[in-house]
Structure 1
Amino acid sequence: MKKRIVILVSGNGSNAQAIIDQCRNDYINGEVVALISNRPNAYALVRAEQSNIATQCIDHTKYAERHLFDNALASCITKLQPDLIVLAGFMRILTTDFVAQFEGKMLNIHPSLLPKYPGLNTHQRAIESGDTNHGASVHFVTSELDGGPVVLKSQIKIREADTPNELAERVAKTEWKIYPEVVRWFCEDRLQWINGAVYFDNKMLQSNGMVYDEI
């Protein structure tokens, strides 16, 4: 039976599209049952509608406090009964209670080689630090911002002439590969969260995860 997937987005939704496409061609043994945005003008909503996927907008600006928004979001997600919740450019810091409710079934992708550069402006920070490598990381969501166990990283070389925008474009292309791959593993039960630890093919993963080039 296919796993039920709910995607949370705030913007363009290119990672959401990559996952939707791989579900539709049966590379992923899952079905995106809904896409939820916290921003009514998110282009990801258009992408989902074009793919005949149910959409919902829960506008965070309508809620006076963070926990009230999280409660509304949690209620919506619970009704959808997902096996997996995918954060794909979802620009909200979730409360501890929300994360605890869905522990072990939420994935996120972050544009850096975690634990380097949690938060924003990762491409600029990597260039300014003189890094030679950069990339993206797919990780389980915990209450620590961008601090959950990493499953899989992509890695590219930083070119001497790279601007933050150029670097972001190249990293994004790797994200569209590694995120569907991790979702596929989860939907095949190859990737599991057990008592706060992550297992891949029944072996515990190291906290820094695997690197795409090594697959």
Structure 2
Amino acid sequence: MTTLHETIIPTKRVRRITVLISGSGSNLQALLDASNTPSLPNSQITHVLSSRSNAYGLTRAKTHTPPIPTSVCALKTFQNRNPGSTREDYDCEVARQIIESKPDLVVLAGWMHILSDKFLRILNGEIPPPGAPALPPPKVDSLPSGTEAIPSMKNLSLDDKEKPTSSSQEGDRLEKKEVEGKEETKEANKKTVELPSPPPTQQFPIPIINLHPALPGAFDGANAIGRAFDAFNNGEIEHTGVMVHRVVAEVDRGEPLIVRKVEIKKGDKLEDLEGRIHEVEHQIIVEGAKMVLEELDKEGRP
């Protein structure tokens, strides 16, 4: 006879993923689209951290449903606001912001900085993160050059002030109000979809994976696609690839989790190869995240 204990299936906590980006965020978009679907079940992107304030990936996160919290930690800005700080100090600040987001998994999806050993030690739980740094907002003593102050209504002539509206203008006003009302409803609906709650306590080590557009041991570091393209044209290789790997101190040398070969065709332009690689990237970054989250479940991590 089946007991009550045997029939109850405990509800899994939705896993939280923090994604680090530096650019357009197409790989971030693949993760956003896959979250809480069979491709990446029981998971949600809960924070996006960018090394650039103008990265389009931030817009992808903010306009997602629900909107994803974002932050920016730019190296030069950090060093300018913290005189005497080092590159390692910057990495520690990135680690601090990651831990504040309370993730189960960190995914580097086009993050353009090499992370130091101290960063990894913080995310492994070996040493504590630093306290909040001195990052005051820039002082605004005056309006930016080329910006005009908003004039007072008292100083405007009748021609500058709002004039009586015609019936057509009134219709436009009502239509605008209706559109604004729909937008407010849309925003309210977004807010009703909540992000998953964090774990009671942060679990360590926090797994970190990276997407790299090359095969293991080939073309480590920056411009991997361009170097592979040149190597093919020089007759040195017949194909290239993409991998998702664990992050270690040695650049792109962590344990490969998923590896895919990518064909280079005779007559290809560089952009042809880039497009082919990006298609594979969008697939395996999701597969890699799913693999690591399944490992956490098997470990029984809360």
Q: TM-score range by the shorter chain?
A: 0.7 to 0.9
Distance 1:68 1:79 in 2: 17
Q: Deviations over 1:99-118 (max 9, x none)?
A: 12224600000011121000
Task: Find the residue that maps to 1:186 and give its secondary structure.
Answer: helix
Q: Of Structure 1 and Structure 2, which has the larger fraction of its residues in strand?
A: 1
Task: Find the residue that maps to 1:113 and give its secondary structure.
Answer: coil
Kept in 2: contact 1:185–1:191 (CA 8 A): no
Structure 2 spans left out of the alignment, 5+ residues: 1-12, 80-85, 125-204
Structure 1 spans left out of the alignment, 5+ residues: 194-215
Written as runs of structure 1 = structure 2, the 5 A alignment for 1:4-153 is 4-28=16-40, 29-51=42-64, 52-64=67-79, 65-103=86-124, 105-130=207-232, 131-153=237-259
- How far is 1:190 from its partner? 7.1
Q: 1:9 to 1:49 in 2, by over 3 A?
A: same
Which residue of the partner structure matches residue 181 of structure 2?
Answer: none
- TM-score, L = length of structure 1: 0.84
- How far is 1:79 from its partner? 1.4
The alignment-based identity, stated in percent, is 31
Aligned length: 193
Task: Find the residue that maps to 1:189 and give its secondary structure.
Answer: helix
Q: Deviations over 1:144-198 (max 9, x none)?
A: 01111111112121101112221111100001011101111212227989xxxxx
- TM-score, L = length of structure 2: 0.61
Q: Deviations over 1:192-214 (max 9, x none)?
A: 89xxxxxxxxxxxxxxxxxxxxx
Task: Find the residue that maps to 2:240 and give its secondary structure.
Answer: strand
Q: Deviations over 1:27-86 (max 9, x none)?
A: 312111100001000000000001111111112112332122112211111112211000
Q: 1:191 to 1:61 in 2, by over 3 A?
A: farther
Greater C-alpha Rg: 2
Q: 1:134 to 1:191 in 2, by over 3 A?
A: farther
Which residue of the partner structure matches residue 15 of structure 2?
Answer: 3
Q: 1:182 to 1:191 in 2, by over 3 A?
A: farther
